[in-house]
C-alpha cells in the first residue's frame, strides 16, 4: 500500500474568503490535514502552487517577458511554502521547505539526498520554486519531485471530483472517470496536467490520484484513496 505520497496543492488552498493572499485559518486547516496524514503512517511531501498570490503566465500575457514573470510566480510558491511550514510548526509537526531557487536565508536549497533524509526522518517536505526554471508548470515540478522522491503515489488536489470528459464546471453532464491510463489522458487531451508532467509519471510508473481539494480532511486520507466516488486513479 502507499507509504510515501506527494500532494500537488493549489495555492488557492491557502484562501478561505479572500481572492488573493494567504489566510492563516486556511494555513492552519491545511497543516492539520497534513499532520493527520502523517499520523496515519504516510511520509508526506508537498508541492504547492502560487496562484493565490501571483500567476506568471497571466503577467506574460500582458507583455512582461515570460522568464521574469515565471520567476515571480516561483517566488510566490516560496512564500506559500514558508507560511505552510510555520503553520505546521505551530501544531507540533516537523516540516521543512526546500526551494529550487537559492534563497538560503528563507528555505533549504533543494538537494536530493537531503530531501530523502528529511522524508525518512518523518518531516513533511514542502517543495517550492517549481523546477527552478521558467516555462515549467508546478504540475511538472510535482511530477519531477515525485520521480526524484520515488513516491508511491502523486495526488493532485483540484476543484472537482476527479477527471471528466469535459470541464464539469461548464458541462454538468460530463462523464467522470473512476480510473484511466496516462495514454488515455494524452489521447483525449483532457488537460489534467501538462503533457510534460504526464510523460514523467508514465515513464516512471508513478500512479496519480486526482481528487477534490475540499475532500481533504473530511475522512482519513487512506479512506479517501480507496473511494472512487470523488476521485480518479490514473496509472
Give residue 168's pLDDT: 86
CATH fold for the domain made of 4-234: Carbamate kinase (3.40.1160)
Give residue 56's pLDDT: 65
What contacts 20, CB < 8 A, 6 or more positions away?
52, 53
Give residue 226's pLDDT: 87
* Digitized pLDDT (tens) for each residue of the chain, 235 residues in all: 789 999 999 999 998 877 788 999 999 999 999 999 999 999 999 999 998 988 766 776 778 898 998 999 999 999 999 999 999 999 999 999 999 999 999 999 999 999 999 999 999 999 999 999 999 999 999 999 999 999 999 999 998 899 999 888 889 899 999 999 999 999 999 988 999 999 999 999 999 999 999 999 999 999 999 888 889 999 9
Give residue 57's pLDDT: 67
* Cα Rg of the chain, angstroms: 17
Give residue 213's pLDDT: 92
Dump the DSSP string for 30-86.
Answer: HHHHHHHHHHTT-EEEEEE--TTT--HHHHHHTTS-HHHHHHHHHHHHHHHHHHHHH
Amino acid at each position: 500500500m502507499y507509504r510515501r505520497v506527494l500532494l500537488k496543492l493549489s495555492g488557492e488552498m491557502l484562501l478561505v474568503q479572500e481572492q488573493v493572499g494567504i489566510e492563516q485559518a486556511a494555513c492552519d486547516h491545511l497543516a492539520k490535514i497534513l499532520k493527520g496524514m502523517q499520523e496515519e503512517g504516510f511520509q508526506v511531501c508537498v508541492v504547492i502552487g502560487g496562484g493565490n498570490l501571483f500567476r506568471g503566465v497571466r503577467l506574460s500575457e500582458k507583455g512582461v517577458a515570460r522568464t521574469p514573470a515565471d520567476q515571480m510566480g516561483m517566488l510566490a510558491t516560496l512564500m506559500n511554502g514558508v507560511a505552510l511550514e510555520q503553520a505546521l510548526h505551530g501544531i507540533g509537526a516537523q516540516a521543512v521547505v526546500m526551494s529550487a531557487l537559492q534563497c538560503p536565508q528563507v528555505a533549504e536549497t533543494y538537494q536530493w539526498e537531503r530531501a530523502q533524509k528529511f522524508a525518512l526522518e518523518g518531516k513533511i517536505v514542502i517543495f517550492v520554486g517549481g523546477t527552478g526554471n521558467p516555462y515549467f508548470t508546478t504540475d511538472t515540478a510535482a511530477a519531477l519531485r515525485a520521480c526524484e522522491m520515488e513516491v508511491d503515489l502523486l495526488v493532485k488536489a483540484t476543484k472537482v471530483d476527479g477527471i471528466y470528459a469535459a470541464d464539469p464546471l461548464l458541462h454538468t453532464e460530463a462523464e467522470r472517470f473512476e480510473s484511466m491510463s496516462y495514454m488515455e489522458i494524452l489521447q483525449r487531451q483532457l488537460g489534467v496536467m501538462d503533457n510534460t508532467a504526464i510523460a514523467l509519471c508514465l515513464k516512471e510508473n508513478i500512479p496519480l490520484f486526482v481528487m477534490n481539494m475540499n475532500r481533504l480532511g473530511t475522512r482519513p486520507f487512506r479512506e479517501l484513496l480507496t473511494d472512487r466516488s470523488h476521485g480518479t486513479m490514473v496509472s
